[in-house]
Structure 1
Amino acid sequence: MSSDLRIKKLRGSGGYIMASVNDDQQRKGNLGGPDLFLAPIGRLDSDTISKYFCNTCEKDYEGSPRIEYENPNEEVAENLILLEKGQYICATCGSTLAEYREFRKPDEMTDVGNARPMEQSNPFESPEQTFTPPQTTTEPPSFTEPEPEPQSIPEPPMSPPTPSFSTQQSSPPAAESQPVGSVSSIVGMAVYNEEAKRIGTAKQIGIDSSQSLVLVISNNNGSDQTIPWSNIKKVGEIVLVGTSSAASQAPPTVAPPVQTPTDSGKCPSCNFVNKAGSKFCEECGTKI
């Protein structure tokens, strides 16, 4: 790990902070784009934070925001322990700037197992949802000529033999099996959106009623939620969910929701009802 510290801007769902980070922390905060996110890095020493910006206050503050955290030490999946979860909170208005989770694998040599089993049966495991294509058998055309009945006329000269068309000649060669490398399970990984907001924990991968691949997560309310696999932007130490693919698949005839005067404070993106007078959504950080 490099000991060189550099001041970087670390984004959160409700603002950002300016802090001195090393190379390893910068690598964790890089989720594939030009911005660095605070949630994957976790808890920083308040002495390393020089200032922060609150979206609700729309103002810069010198020093560190308030950091609140707890250590549940809870097993969220097989071989995956939730060590710590916390929040960066604006010291002036109390709005949440960012949330983070820190996990640990008791056995580093073993992959993360399945999440806690559900009591109800899963529709993605039903026989109707299997991907087995119907097998059709095609009979090859028969080129055998019927035997002529005995005639008193002279036999005609023998014709050249009819070529035999074997179905094995038209079949493509079987693909050679390739050795399977190391495969890691994403079950139990934390799932974040593009605003570095944790939206749940990965449970399993399945097929929905439209025969599309989806990721089933357990959201923060404890209920199940499905995410189209085309929305998955990156899988690493966490699962990052994008929004560009989902937006491109939306029917062109559906109009976006129109904000009325009675919806004051309601986020047009996630429909979260914010405090009156809020400029940014406290849930996803979108400008109202």
Structure 2
Amino acid sequence: MMAEKDENEEKVNVILKEKKLRGSGGYVIAKISDGEQKLGNLGGPELFLAGIGKIDKNRILKYYCNKCEKEYKDSPKLDYNNPNEDVGEGVILIEKGEYKCQICSGIIAQYRKFDSDNVIKKEANNTKIELKKEKQNVESVEKLKNSVLTKNSYLPINSLIGMPVYNDEAMLVGNIFEIGLKKSELGIININFKIKKSDDENLEITEIIWEKISKIGDIVLVKTEQGKSDSNKCPSCNFENENNANYCEECGNKLK
């Protein structure tokens, strides 16, 4: 009884602050805790709904839909499921969801939650000790973020396969489906990530080098560099070159 009372008192003492949370198709204004604010901070001053995940609709005050170009004093519709899908190296996708506009059904934001317990235990114990999987709450993604970004920590790079990739304007680039080394015509070797928006083989594949990744958490955040645009993307290999480049650094073809 005493422990239950302390837990209830702790919940009452949680301070919620009104914050703007960005998504790929708009934003929401919601009351969040300090812990949720840390999850939403994926880099820079902006907070992202993708980092937090599911929020009680009673705490969402209003939202803005880019498609409607209109703000609504309501909560967007939330569709989510629990696939429990192994996305590689023992990382389990335990939940994924989409916030949608109630009027046009446009996507305001997407999120994914991963259970990284198996990965951490495998790397900590290189033996035949039986791995015991524990269920983690929605804040387990903070544990994954810290394990990836902490100095001297280790996480298999293949565990990034299947993760959604966003740019720093909160726009969805796609999902990582392949990682490898690539040597350019100039002899430079880079770690390259192949990204596409669905499993359709006919869709365009985007390649991003390791240096463009600014942060890794439950999503991968890539930098939108100043001075670059679609005009300097190579039509042959989709490599993004410098603004003043005349030839593709990756394949050597002349840029238009």
Number of equivalenced pairs: 187
CA-to-aligned-CA distance 1:51-89 (integer Å, 9 cap, x gap): 111112121111201111111111011210111111111
- Is the aligned partner of 1:212 residue 2:189? yes
Question: What are the ranges of 5 or more consecutive residues in structure 1 without an aligned counterpart?
Answer: 113-179, 255-288
Give the residue type in structure 2 aligned to 1:250: E
- Is the aligned partner of 1:183 residue 2:154? yes
CA distance in 2, matches of 1:239, 1:56: 24
CA-to-aligned-CA distance 1:140-190 (integer Å, 9 cap, x gap): xxxxxxxxxxxxxxxxxxxxxxxxxxxxxxxxxxxxxxxx94322332232
Structure showing greater relative contact order (alpha-carbon pairs closer than 8 Å, 6 or more residues apart): 1
SS at match of 1:215: strand
TM-aligned CA distance change 1:246 to 1:8, over 3 Å = same
| 2:25–2:109 Cα contact (<8 Å) kept | yes
| 1:19–1:49 Cα contact (<8 Å) kept | yes
CA distance in 2, matches of 1:111, 1:62: 47
| 1:207–1:214 Cα contact (<8 Å) kept | yes
CA distance in 1, matches of 2:177, 2:101: 30
CA-to-aligned-CA distance 1:170-216 (integer Å, 9 cap, x gap): xxxxxxxxxx9432233223232223326213643413334231332
> Shift in Å at residue 246 of structure 1?
8.0
SS at match of 1:214: strand
Alignment of 1:52-131 (within 5 A): 52-107=63-118, 108-111=120-123
- Calculate percent identity across the aligned residue pairs: 40
| More deviation, 219-228/13-22 | 219-228
| 1:201–1:217 Cα contact (<8 Å) kept | yes
Alignment of 1:237-256 (within 5 A): 237-244=218-225, 247=228, 249-252=241-244
SS at match of 1:26: helix
Q: Give the match for residue 16 of structure 2.
A: 5
Q: Give the match for residue 235 of structure 1.
A: 216
TM-aligned CA distance change 1:11 to 1:92, over 3 Å = same
CA distance in 2, matches of 1:110, 1:245: 40
Match of 1:17 among 23, 28, 38: 28
Measured on the aligned residues, the alpha-carbon RMSD in Å equals 2.8
> Shift in Å at residue 111 of structure 1?
4.6
Q: Give the match for residue 252 of structure 2.
A: none
Tell me the TM-score normalised to structure 2 length: 0.64
CA distance in 2, matches of 1:45, 1:76: 27
Q: Give the match for residue 221 of structure 1.
A: 198
CA distance in 2, matches of 1:241, 1:96: 20
Q: Give the match for residue 47 of structure 1.
A: 58
Tell me the TM-score normalised to structure 1 length: 0.57
| 2:227–2:243 Cα contact (<8 Å) kept | no
SS at match of 2:19: strand
Pair member with larger Rg = 1
Give the residue type in structure 1 aligned to 2:176: T
